[in-house]
Homo-oligomer: A and B are copies of this chain.
Amino acid sequence: MDAQVLSKRTMAEQVADLLRQRILSGALPAGTPIRQEPLAAELGISRIPLREALKQLEAEGFVTIASHKGATVAPLSVAEIEELFQLRLRLETWMLGLALPRLAEADFAALDQLIAEQRAPDSLPRWGELNWRFHEVMYRPADRPLTLKMLKRIHDNIDRYLRLEISLSAGRNRAYREHEDLLAHCRKGDVAVALDLLERHIQQTANSLIDHLRARETAVAAD
């Protein structure tokens, strides 16, 4: 039996999950104001649990709350996105270095499976989730749960911007190839090469996203 399913979840928790999904999926893009009364009415609840959900999402970096003014979907500046990628670089190379010697055959099999799922034709809406799970499986043996939680938060915040760019499929195919390459070298236990590939993978992702965002920025400014 799954305890999560059985345990009565609170309204605030369910609402937080729902809104998080809407933000990650792009249904609520950055900057969207969140009015409490209409949203609570739509969800059929009062504003109290909604406010608690918003506080939770604020802590996760998805929402900005200004006293007496309300909540909006948090925008990330290009500088902040760059910083998040730099954090990923530092933390993930550390984690992979710790985890690599402890990766077992079951982990490699799971990673193969995830790459296959990512390549499936209808996987696009689950791209962010599958991408994170790939990285998570690699880092979990490092046995650093707080760091892993931090990394998930960083990934999620990046992903809602990456989504725009990854739908173009060119970057997506590159990411899959890099995952395969990285996995192959992890299997061989080639630590130095694996860390180098991971570093480049993160760098590449950062560069293509930031180029894309800068292009959009100037396009918007030219309007």
Q: Mark A84-103, 1 if CB is under 8 A from B, else 0.
A: 10110011001000000000
B83 in contact with A146 (CB, 8 Å) = yes
Tell me the bound Cα distance from A84 to B51 in angstroms: 30
Q: Is A56 an interface residue (CB 8 A)?
A: yes
State whether A67 touches B146 (Cβ < 8 A).
no
Bound-complex Cα distance A90 to B48 (A): 40
How far does the Cβ of A14 sit from chain B's closest Cβ, in whole Å? Answer: 11
**Copies of this protein, total:** 2
Flag whether A152 is at the interface (Cβ < 8 A): no
Q: Which residues of B contact A147 (CB under 8 A)?
A: 83, 87
CB-nearest residue of chain B to A57: B59
Query: A169: CB under 8 A from chain B?
Result: no
For A67, the closest partner residue in chain B by CB is B10
In the complex, whether A13 has a CB less than 8 A from a CB of chain B is yes
Known: A52-B51, A52-B52, A67-B9. A90 touches B83 (CB 8 A): no
Q: Which 10 A-B pairs give the minimum distances between C-beta atoms?
A: A59-B59, A55-B55, A83-B146, A10-B67, A83-B144, A52-B55, A90-B90, A90-B94, A80-B146, A87-B147
